[in-house]
Each structure stands twice: as C-alpha cells, then as structure tokens.
C-alpha cells in the first residue's frame, strides 16, 4: 500500500486502500496524505526513454526520407569514391608539383 492511496477509516481508524473499509465495511474515509506529506512523485528526473527501433522507421515515414539502408550504402560508396578521388587528385598534384619543381631546377641548370 502506498501512502498516496492509503485511506483512514473514519469509523474504526483502519488504514486501507479499498473503497470500503475491510474491517467495518464503512465508506467513510480520508486520505492519509492529508496529514502525512508525500514526497513529490517525480523528485528525481526520469531516465530518458530509449526509443524503440520502430520509432525511427515511423519518423522517416513522417519526414518522407528514403529508407536508411540503401541510401547509407550508396552514400558510403559515394563518400568512399569521393575520398579516393580526392586522394588521387592530391597525389597527382604532388607529383606534378614535384615534377614542375624538378623541371624548373633542371631548366635553371640548363640555362647555367
Ligand atoms: Zn472501518
């Protein structure tokens, strides 16, 4: 029995939580919380609920975004190809830059 639901029978002073007193069958009662203060029910913050996996699916349906698996795979492939392309371009730039530097040096040497 919880303090918030505890009732005091006004006829026989029995404490119960039913509609009628189980001892004298009286329906005259008062709540115990009238005299005994109950702590706030949510004095401590409730832990954040973990959303069920279906919630994300519903959220995507509502937002109108495509399902994540195919798009994620495609996006990952696109990102991977982009990174590889950038890396290749960077290497080519380094190679060409070094070649130009060498060519410039060689040209100066040839001029001397
Ligand atoms: Zn009673």
pLDDT per residue rounded down to tens, the chain (112 residues): 888 899 999 999 999 999 999 999 999 999 999 988 877 665 666 677 777 778 888 888 888 866 656 556 777 778 888 888 888 888 888 888 877 777 755 445 555 5
Q: How far is the CA of 39 from the centre of ligand 1 (A)?
A: 27
pTM tops 0.85: no
Q: How far is the CA of 37 from the centre of ligand 1 (A)?
A: 23
At residue 110, the pLDDT reads 53
End-to-end Cα spacing for the chain: 103
Q: How far is the CA of 38 from the centre of ligand 1 (A)?
A: 23
At residue 59, the pLDDT reads 85
Ion ligand 1 residues within 5 Å by Cβ: 9, 11-12, 14, 21, 23-24, 26
Phi–psi pair at 111, nearest 5 degrees? -70, -35
Angstrom distance (rounded) from CA 60 to CA 68: 9
């Amino acid at each position: 029995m919880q303090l918030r639901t505890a009732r005091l029978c006004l006829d026989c002073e029995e404490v119960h939580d039913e509609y009628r007193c189980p001892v004298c069958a009286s329906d005259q009662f008062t709540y115990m919380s009238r005299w005994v203060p109950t702590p706030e029910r949510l004095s401590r913050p409730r832990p954040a609920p973990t959303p069920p996996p279906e919630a994300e699916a519903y959220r995507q349906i509502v937002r109108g975004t495509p399902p994540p698996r195919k798009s994620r795979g495609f996006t990952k492939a696109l990102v991977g190809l982009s990174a590889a392309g950038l890396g290749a371009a960077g290497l080519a730039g380094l190679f060409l830059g070094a070649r130009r530097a060498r060519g410039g040096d060689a040209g100066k040497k040839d001029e001397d």
